[in-house]
Amino acid sequence: MIVLDANVLIAYLDDSDALHRQAVDALESVADEEWVAHPVTLAEVLVGPARRTAGHLQQAVDTLSAIGVDEAPWNGSDALTLAQLRAETHLKLPDCCVLLLTEREDSSLLSFDGALCRAAERRGITVVE
C-alpha cells in the first residue's frame, strides 16, 4: 500500500502543474500497489477544484476514484496521535495526517515534500523515489 501526499495528487490532476509529469510517472511506477489518502489530504487536493466550479470538483472526485485512490477512514484516536506527531516532527498538520496514515497502515509514502519525506525516513518509513 502506498500513502499519497496531496502534492502528488494535485500535480496529477492539473496538467499545467510543474510537477504534473513527475506525478504521472511516479503513480505509473507504483501502479500495481493499492493507493490510499487521508481524508484531510483529499480535502486539501479538492480545494482547488472546489474554487472553480462544481463541475471541476466532481471531475476531480471522479478522476481520483477512477485511478483507484481510496480514502482512509478517520480513526477516533487520531487527534492525540496527530498532536504528538506535530510536536515531535514540527511538520504542518496536513503532513502529520499523511505520516500518521503511513505509520498506521505500515505503508510506503509517495510525496514531493522534502521535509515530510525526511521525517518519514527518520521514522523508518519507506519513501517511494
Domain membership of residue 96 (yes or no) is yes
Distance CA 12, CA 92 (A): 22
Q: How many domains does the chain have?
A: 1
Domain membership of residue 128 (yes or no) is no
**pLDDT confidence band for 76 (50 / 70 / 90):** confident
Instruction: Find the angle CA(117)-CA(74)-CA(59) to the nearest 5 degrees.
Output: 80
Host domain of residue 56: 2-122
The average pLDDT across 77-87 equals 91
Distance CA 114, CA 16 (A): 22
Percent of the chain with pLDDT over 70: 100
pTM of the shown model: 0.94
Domain membership of residue 34 (yes or no) is yes
The average pLDDT across 17-44 equals 97
Domain membership of residue 28 (yes or no) is yes
CATH of the domain at 14: 3.40.50.1010
54 has a pLDDT exceeding 80: no
Domain membership of residue 112 (yes or no) is yes
